[in-house]
């Protein structure tokens, strides 16, 4: 897979991130926070620096998990190419704010589990290793992650919402989610010919903004 080379977050950014995570951790009374045990430079692509709710590293982790839930590459785009993480981030900064602390805690614990088991942050692991970690998570069997099964259900739904919702909400970039399943998007009307085609549709791809 052609991944963008991880950027490096400066030490100062990292300190801020750690401080924020620490405060949330103290409030929730749970350990195992993202970044808090990692003395190494932190991977994150530049476009993940300006997220609204997630830290850049959390964004990178959500993106990496999303890329295993709905995998892809530039030729066959998946959740990463759809920018699903931007959908999730905007949702967590608004209508899904109630999930933010759940994300913060679980993402930290998942990353800590990856480092403990494989001595690397989750985002740097091989895809097959990531899959086996997520498989364990989805069964509630990833050591050190509390309520992992329920968190996996949550993030799975949010990632897929970011793949299949209109781009106005931040994901489904270039309509790659809809193109993958052969859905052209919203139209004010559909013709009889189109309804009885018994073949792939011949409508142009459209989004709400095109209406």
Partner 1 sequence: MIVGYGAAAGPVALELAKAGKSVVALEAGPHRSLATDFARGAMDTLRWHTRAEMIDKPRMGLTFREDSRSVAAPWPQGYAMASTVGGSSVHWSGQSWRFYEEDFRVASTLRELYGDSRKLAHLAADGAAIEDWPITYAEVEPFYDKVERALGIGGWPGNIGGRIRPVRPDEGNPFESPRSRDFPYRPPRDNATDLVFREGALALGLKPFHVPTAFVMDGSWTSSEGIQRAACTYCSFCTGYGCWNGSKSSTLSALLPATESLPGFELRTGCYVTRIVHRDGLATAVVYRDAHGVEHEQRGEVFVLGAYSFQNVRLLLHSGIDGNGQVGRYFLNRAVTDLHAIFPDRILNGWNGPSVQRQGVEEFNGENARELKLRLPDDQFFVRGAFIGSPSQRLPLETYDVHPPDVPSWGAEYKRFLTGSLNRYMGLQLLTEPLPYEDCRLDLDPSHRDEHGMPRCRVTRTVKQNELRMARFVWDRGKEILEAAGAKRIWGSPGATATASSTHDMGGARMGTDPTRSATNRYCQLWTMPNVFVAGGAVAPTISGHNPTQTIWMLSYWLADAIVRGKVDLADSTAFS
When the beta carbons of 189 and 204 are compared against partner 1, the nearer one is 189
Residue 182 DSSP label = T
Question: Which residues touch 5 (CB under 8 Å, ≥6 apart)?
Answer: none
Q: How far is the CB of 31 from partner 1 (least distance, A)?
A: 28
Residue 50 DSSP label = T
When the beta carbons of 126 and 131 are compared against partner 1, the nearer one is 131
Q: How far is the CB of 204 from partner 1 (least distance, A)?
A: 14
Residue 43 tokens read as 């991977």
When the beta carbons of 55 and 138 are compared against partner 1, the nearer one is 138
Residues contributing to the site for partner 1 (CB under 8 A)? 68-72, 78, 95, 131, 134, 138, 156, 160-161, 163-166, 168-169, 177-178, 180-183, 186-192, 194-201, 208, 211
Q: Which helix (H) or strand (E) holds 43?
A: strand 42-43
Q: What is the dihedral of CA 61, 135, 130, 182, to 10 degrees?
A: -80
When the beta carbons of 108 and 185 are compared against partner 1, the nearer one is 185
Q: How far is the CB of 40 from partner 1 (least distance, A)?
A: 29
Q: How far is the CB of 12 from partner 1 (least distance, A)?
A: 36
Q: Tally helices (H) and strands (E) across the chain.
A: 9, 2
Question: Which residues touch 207 (CB under 8 Å, ≥6 apart)?
Answer: 166, 167, 168, 175, 185, 186
Q: How far is the CB of 211 from partner 1 (least distance, A)?
A: 6
When the beta carbons of 10 and 150 are compared against partner 1, the nearer one is 150
């Amino acid at each position: 897979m052609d991944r963008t080379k991880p950027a490096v977050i400066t030490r100062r950014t990292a300190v801020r991130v750690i401080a924020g995570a620490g405060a949330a951790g103290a409030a929730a009374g749970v350990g195992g926070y993202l970044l808090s045990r990692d003395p190494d430079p932190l991977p994150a692509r530049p476009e993940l620096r300006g997220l609204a709710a997630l830290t850049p590293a959390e964004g990178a982790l959500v993106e990496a998990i999303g890329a295993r839930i709905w995998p892809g590459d530039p030729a066959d785009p998946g959740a990463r190419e759809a920018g699903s993480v931007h959908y999730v981030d905007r949702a967590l900064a608004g209508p899904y704010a109630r999930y933010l602390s759940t994300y913060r805690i679980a993402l930290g614990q998942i990353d800590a589990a990856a480092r403990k088991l494989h001595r690397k942050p989750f985002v740097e692991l091989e895809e097959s290793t990531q899959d086996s970690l997520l498989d364990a998570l989805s069964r509630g069997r990833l050591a050190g992650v509390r309520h992992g099964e329920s968190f996996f259900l949550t993030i799975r739904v949010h990632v897929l919402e970011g793949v299949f919702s209109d781009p106005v909400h931040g994901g489904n970039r270039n309509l790659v989610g809809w193109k993958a399943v052969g859905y052209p998007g919203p139209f004010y009307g559909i013709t009889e010919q189109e309804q009885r085609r018994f073949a792939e549709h011949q409508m142009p791809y459209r989004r709400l903004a095109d209406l």
